Amino acid sequence: MDYQQLFSLKGKTALVTGGARGLGKAMAEALAQVGANIIIADMELASAQQAAKELASFGGKTLGLQVDVTSEEQVRAMVDQIVGEFNELNVVINNAGICQKITVEEQSLEDWKKTMDVNVNGVFLVSKYSGKQMKMQGGGSIINMASMSSFIANTEAQCAYNASKAAVDMMTKCMASEWAGNNIRVNAIAPGYMKTEMTKPIFAPGGELAHVLDLVPLKRLGEPHELGGLAIYLASDASTFTTGSTFIVDGGYTIW
C-alpha cells in the first residue's frame, strides 16, 4: 500500500467555508500542502481572496469567494461557480460558524435564531448543494465542524452554540446514512478549546476563560495545525471506510 498516495489530494478540489482565518485557514493550508485546489469562502471577500492568494504558494489552483452560508441562493451559486471553474467539488469543510456567550435568560430569540441559522442551516445548505454535485460526479467527502460542545455543556453560558453543534453531530450521521450508497462520506471534527488570534486573549492569564485550562488534561489550548492531519485523513482516500463519525480533538477535556 502506497500511503503517501493514499493521503494525497493532488488534483482534488476542496471548499472551506469560513476559511479566511483561524481553524478554517489552518485546515485549508493542510489540504493545500497535500495537493488540493482550494476555494476559500468567507463573508469578507478581501480576506477570502488574500487567504487564497497565500495558499496558492503550495502549487494548487485557489479561489477566494464571498458567500453568506445562510443564503440558499448564494450557496447554490457558489457551488455552480466552483464546478464551472474546477469541474468538480471533491471535498467540503463546513467550517463557518459563530458562538455567542449569552445566558438563556438574556439571549434574545433573534440571537438564538442567528446562531442556528449560521451553525445549522449553513451546514445544511452547503452540504445539500455540495452533496448533489458529489452525487452526480460519483462521490466526495464532506467534513462538518462540530465541537466538543456537541456532547458536553461548557462551564460558560452558550446554550445556543452547544445546541447547534449537537445538531451538526446528528446531521453528520443522517447525511452519512443517506449518501452512503453514493460514495459520499460525511464526518465531523469536534475541536475543544483552540488557540486562535481571536481566542488567545480570553485564555491568557487573567482572561475570562483562563480557568478552563485546569479542566484540560493536557493543560493547554489546541493549536490550529493540530486539526490539519485529521482534515487530510477525512478528505483523502485514507478514510474510505470512515463515515458518520465525529472525531473529538480536545486535549482530553471530555474524558472527565
Catalytic residue numbers read: 161
Q: How far from 125 is each of 70, 94, 227, CA to CA, in Å?
A: 7, 10, 24
- The answer to whether residues 152 and 254 touch, using CB atoms and an 8 Å cutoff, is yes
All cell numbers assigned to 200: 488567545
Q: Residues 6 or more apart from 150 whose CB is under 8 A from it?
A: 162, 165, 166, 168, 169, 188, 190, 246
How far apart are alpha carbons 93 and 168 in whole angstroms?
13
How far apart are alpha carbons 91 and 240 in whole angstroms?
13
Q: Residues 6 or more apart from 130 whose CB is under 8 A from it?
A: 15, 79, 89, 92, 140, 142
Q: How far from 84 is each of 48, 87, 88, 89, CA to CA, in Å?
A: 19, 6, 8, 10
Q: Which uninterrupted H or E stretch holds 184? A: strand 184-191
Helix axis angle for 122-137 and 72-86, nearest 10°, is: 30
Which residue is listed with cell 458518520? 244
Please tell me the number of Cα atoms within 13 Å of 74 on its side-chain side. Answer: 12
All cell numbers assigned to 96: 463557518
